[in-house]
Chain A
Amino acid sequence: MSWGSPQAIVAHGGELDVHLLGWIKDLLDDLLGGLGDWGVIALAGAMILVIPVGLMVLYFSQRKRGGYDAAVD
């Protein structure tokens, strides 16, 4: 390892090392390899959607019951 490139400096709040990411992807391929590229994309995409969809469903169900009359500015 050399001085650490300027890119490397950002790792804590930013970008990870490209080789490390490659190795982590190899791990994921071993774990999820059967799913194929689009299968992993669909799985990760569904997990990403959990928070926004969950929040919207909860909010509108509570609002329907009259829970947030003052919620809208």
Chain B
Amino acid sequence: MNQSKTGKQPLYYGWYIVFTCMFIALVTNGVRNSFAIFIIPLETDFGWSRGELSIAASVGFFANAVTQPFLGRIFDWQGGRRVLLVSMIVFGVATVLLSLTFHFLFLVFLFGLVSGIAASGTSLSNTMALVSRWFRRRRGTVTGINATGLAAGGFLIVPFAAYMLEATGWRITWAILGMLVLGLGVPLSYLFLRDDPSKMGLQPDGDPEPPVEGPTEIPDRPRGPLEVDRWAQAFRSWPIWQLSGSYFVCGFTTSIISIHFVPFAIGQGISPVLAATIFSFMMALNMVGSLGAGYLSDRFGGSKNLLALVYFCRGSAYVLLLLVPGAMGLWVFAAVAGLSWVATNPLTTSLTADVYGVRALGTIGGISFFFHAMGAVISVPMAGFLYDATGSYTIPFAIAGALLFPAALSAFTIRERKYSSRYAAAPAISGASGD
């Protein structure tokens, strides 16, 4: 442990990692989220249809979802610093080059493929895997801080880009967004990101080094019975399927709301601006939910109980949305769903790290995020189809609400006390085994 010349302990280095990762989430997600503001200028300048532009976005979505496990594998193999740094550079360069867009395929290639794959490298699953190496006792809190970058990006970068576009035009705005990544994100990542506390002579959480006495073969920390060295071992046990299954439902239920909440609200007789206000309120609560859930899981333990509670509350919010008409139902739903929206990220990741360890966490987290993405892929068109068929959102929202209760049960029945390293009383040396 380092000590400054003044005798005070310096801030634990892991906190630099956490806030750098939060900033990475902020800029990369903010830039990706900004795509919508470029749609109208691109339509105007090139005559492309909304459907054509949607292809670029959907290619980006699928490239991002499919490559996340692979980028996670490279993360585990090569270390987080390299993956994040290279991905940030590629992402920034691609964003700058979007200012030169001249052909539709150019846009699909750069925004869809290159930027989509690079965004897999900088994804929450990778940054959370990195911060999980630096913290053990405060893992929920730091992954929660990391996840707030997701919402903060929408709140800061998107308005920044929208006003920049009005003031300067879409080409300059793409270039400035890219320079934001290259000029701030890349130097910050280069300066601060380190793969492991042990490489700096530090312990997770900034704890003092354990005394060296007796046989050195004994691990210096508790090890959970399912801790794995290879990702495939994790999928031979139940908890990862329980977590990934509920994560699928998370993607399913949040994506429906992303797309269909405002049309549903307008259908209830609410004005578009009020609907947007309620939606913004819901997004603002994302940060509170993410920070609160992470902190509470560290403070009181029982991450799986909290995760189950989050799914249960979101399910109840769907029920209220269908039962309470008008603005009141929408506000109540926005409050509950907003708090639960991103809260699942830190809880799922910290629980995965606690059960399976951090050596293969990049890959395991990437696969979990893939399940989440598949939930989104299925739910949005399904809701649109059912709306067209029935003229109402009742059935799709009822399906979403109904899925959340089994998801809550799935999380609740994870045997956390048996498998989590947080509850492992004594060091034990063993590999993964089934439940």
Interface residue ranges, A against B (CB under 8 Å) = 1-21, 23-28, 37-38, 40-41, 44-45, 47-49, 51-52, 54-56, 58-59, 62, 65-71, 73
- Asked, given contacts A17-B262, A55-B16, A55-B20, whether A37 binds B167 with beta carbons under 8 Å apart, the answer is yes
Chain-A contact segment, one of B206-214, B236-244, B374-382: B374-382
A10 with B13, Cβ < 8 A, contacts A18-B39, A20-B276, A70-B2 known = no
Across the interface, do B51 and A5 meet the contact criterion of CB distance under 8 Å?
Answer: yes
Q: Provide the bound-state CA to CA distance between A40 and B425, in Å.
A: 53
A4 and B260 contact, Cβ closer than 8 Å, known pairs A16-B33, A73-B194 = yes
Further contacts, 19 of them, CB under 8 A, given A1-B259, A4-B384, A55-B23: A1-B260, A3-B381, A6-B61, A12-B251, A14-B61, A15-B36, A19-B262, A21-B37, A21-B158, A23-B275, A24-B279, A26-B276, A48-B180, A52-B187, A55-B20, A55-B192, A65-B6, A70-B2, A73-B200
Contact B160 A44 (CB under 8 A): yes
Known contacts A6-B58, A14-B57, A15-B57; is A27 also within 8 Å of B276 by CB? yes
Within 8 A of A (CB), among B46-68: 50-51, 53-55, 57-58, 60-61, 64
Distance, CA A51 to CA B192, complexed state (A) = 13
Q: Please, how many angstroms separate the alpha-carbon atoms of A30 and B262 in the complex?
A: 20
Cα distance A56–B158 when bound, in Å?
24
A27-B280, A47-B156, A51-B22 given; A7·B54 CB < 8 A: yes
User: Once the chains are docked, how many angstroms separate the CA of A21 from the CA of B163?
Assistant: 12
For A67, the chain B residues whose CB sits under 8 A away are: 2-4, 10-11
Main secondary structure of the interface of B (DSSP, over half): helix
Could you list which residues of chain B lie within 8 angstroms of chain A, going by C-beta atoms?
A: 2-6, 8, 10-11, 13, 16, 19-20, 22-23, 26-27, 29, 32-33, 35-37, 39-40, 50-51, 53-55, 57-58, 60-61, 64, 154, 156-160, 162-164, 166-167, 180, 184, 187-188, 191-192, 194, 199-202, 251, 254-255, 258-260, 262-263, 272-273, 275-277, 279-280, 373, 376-377, 380-381, 383-385, 387-388
Q: Are B280 and A3 closer than 8 Å at their CB atoms?
A: no
Q: What 5 A-B pairs come out closest when comparing CB atoms?
A: A67-B10, A6-B58, A11-B258, A23-B276, A3-B384
Taking CB atoms, residues of chain A closer than 8 Å to B6 are: 65
Residue contact A48 to B156, C-beta cutoff 8 Å: yes
Q: Determine the distance from Cα of A55 to Cα of B260 in the docked complex, in whole angstroms.
A: 39
Contact A70–B279 (Cβ < 8 Å): no
Give the docked Cα–Cα distance between A70 and B273 (Å).
53
A66 to B8, CA, bound (A): 10
A44 and B4 form a contact (CB under 8 A): no
A12 to B380, CA, bound (A): 10
List of B residues within 8 angstroms of A14 by Cβ? 32-33, 35, 57, 60-61, 64
CB distance from B19 to the nearest CB of A (A): 6
Docked-complex contact B19 and A20, CB < 8 angstroms: no
Contacts of A17 in B (CB 8 A): 36, 259, 262
Most B CB within 10 A of own CB, among A15, A37, A40: A15
Q: Is the pair A4, B160 in contact by a Cβ cutoff of 8 Å?
A: no
In whole angstroms, how far apart are the Cα atoms of A45 and B64 in the complex? 27
Given the complex, which residues of B lie within 8 Å of A44, measured CB to CB?
A: 156-157, 159-160, 163
Task: Tell me if B263 and A16 are in contact (CB < 8 A).
Answer: no
Contact (Cβ within 8 A) A21 B36: yes
Task: Identify the closest chain A residue to B9 (Cβ).
Answer: A67
**Chain A nearest CB: distance from B276 CB in Å?**
4
Closest to A25 in B: B162
Which chain A residue lies CB-closest to B81?
A: A73
B residues near A47, Cβ cutoff 8 Å: 156
Contact B35 A62 (CB under 8 A): no
A67 to B10, CA, bound (A): 5
Listed by A's residue number, 25 A-B pairs whose Cβ atoms lie within 8 Å are: A6-B61, A7-B36, A7-B58, A8-B54, A10-B58, A13-B61, A14-B33, A14-B60, A14-B64, A15-B36, A16-B36, A19-B262, A21-B36, A26-B273, A27-B276, A37-B163, A41-B164, A44-B163, A45-B160, A48-B157, A48-B160, A62-B4, A62-B11, A67-B2, A67-B11
